[in-house]
A and B are shown apart, each in its own frame.
Chain A
């Protein structure tokens, strides 16, 4: 069982290996690499891009990266606002919430229906399916080879309710529930050995059996739109947060605190 789990772990790990962006090949045009040590590596088929306007390029950054950062910043400002001067908070509030042209009032594109077609998303879904297949495969093998076997007996009496848990694959009404069938044993081991495996492998990245076997419903429904957050709603709630923000400057009495701390020591 441990070996099977280890195998599973490595398969998962290989499948989910993050593709490191900085190690992706970069197709550089010949012009940029001319007279460098990489001259031969240049992509000769690529056209000379000519004058590159970086400012314009930065405009084209994906908006969800942008929106995520803006949201995070707004939360940070709201959290730390007590330590900022009032004007500073007001300026930022108006940047985010101003009528018409505030950041949170701009139009956000809806969820892209083509997201499912995105090859990234496709391969992700495929990987998830393979994961599920592995479990099913494991159970069917165990089921067909060991069906009908009783493998263990728990050393204490159990109620009838435990029959479903401990005697899967056995249809014997009269059997005492303290006997454990092979199928159930397999089940129990998959969950029970997780802690041991964590100790062996040192990390628990690929081992989230629980979440694999019992995918929560929201994940099942929105796998396509999973990382597509609804920014419109998030923006709206963030704006409301600003409305109810009660600003109180923490440093109002800072001088008194300073005097209290340093003055009495001298006298």
Chain B
């Protein structure tokens, strides 16, 4: 294995010499991340050494070192490196994000959430961070806060099917006997998502099931029946039957409880 790395390193060095531009370093960086992904740490080490031979002690190579330690499961070390990078430059968003990911990896979900909240106070436009925070709140089953974060994403992409669908699902999860409004809203967002899709699209069934479930729930909880609600239920059921009858694997959906 060691010999392999040497050969490869030699090969890469040749490559670098041949390509005069710094483009090759970009490739090595990618290779470094790939090596981390497949846990080939010897390789990662070699790649990192090549990069540091050119960019000695740059912020980026330090961050990459931190990632190497993350992959080695040495969380304390990685944390120290990231913290020091943030101390040097509090505007270093990438390092903060890595720290959040690290905390999440260590199952310190609350720490990660506090940190990310603080980060978002400074960078309120960072969609990636909002999505991550949504994800973490969902993992904690805190649907109210999760949907708040997801509203940020929704405001940016109000016509995205998936975003609308996920938001509706979060609203549905919050709904209950004491929170009928949120079920109504969920129904609206499900319908909105479905209206945006072409009706031959193969992404409908998840939204249809969700809408059906929401309406059934409303049906149970409402005092006086609403005609529109029953209509939606019927439409959903018919559409679902249509979709399932076309599919190759025959699933008996007629006997399912939701269908009756």
Residues of A within 8 A of B (CB): 21-29, 31-33, 35-38, 41, 49, 52, 54-55, 57-62, 65-66, 69-70, 72-73, 76-77, 79-85, 88, 91, 250-252, 254-259, 261-263, 265-266
What string of 1s and 0s marks CB contacts (under 8 Å) between B168-203 and chain A? 000000000000000001011111101100010000
* Interface Cβ pair total, 8 Å cutoff: 169
Number of B interface residues at 8 Å Cβ cutoff, please give it: 64
A interface: dominant SS = helix
Question: With the chains together, A21 CA to B115 CA distance in Å?
Answer: 23
Q: A70–B206 Cα gap in the complex (Å)?
A: 35
Q: How far is the CA of A76 from the CA of B155 in the complex (A)?
A: 7
A28 touches B57 (CB 8 A): yes
Are A80 and B195 closer than 8 Å at their CB atoms? no
6 pairs of A and B residues whose beta carbons are closest in the complex:
A80-B155, A83-B158, A258-B191, A22-B60, A73-B124, A254-B191
B192→A251 contact, CB < 8 A:
yes
**Nearest B residue to A91, CB-CB:** B148
B4 within 8 A of A: no
B71 contacts across to A, CB distance below 8 A: none
B242 within 8 A of A: yes
Q: Are A83 and B235 neighbours in the complex by a CB distance under 8 Å? A: no
Asked if B138 is at the interface (CB within 8 A of a chain A CB), the reply is no
- Contact between A22 and B58 (Cβ–Cβ < 8 Å)? yes
Q: Which of B13-21, B32-40, B78-86, B244-252 contacts A (4 or more CB under 8 A)?
A: B78-86
- From residue A251, how far is it (CB to closest CB) to chain B in Å? 4
Task: Indicate whether A254 sits within 8 Å of B192 (C-beta atoms), given known contacts A38-B57, A49-B84, A52-B86.
Answer: yes
Given contacts A25-B59, A55-B118, A76-B125, 19 further A-B contacts (CB under 8 A): A21-B89, A23-B59, A24-B59, A26-B57, A38-B65, A54-B86, A58-B96, A58-B119, A70-B124, A73-B152, A81-B155, A83-B155, A254-B189, A255-B188, A257-B191, A258-B191, A258-B194, A261-B194, A263-B235
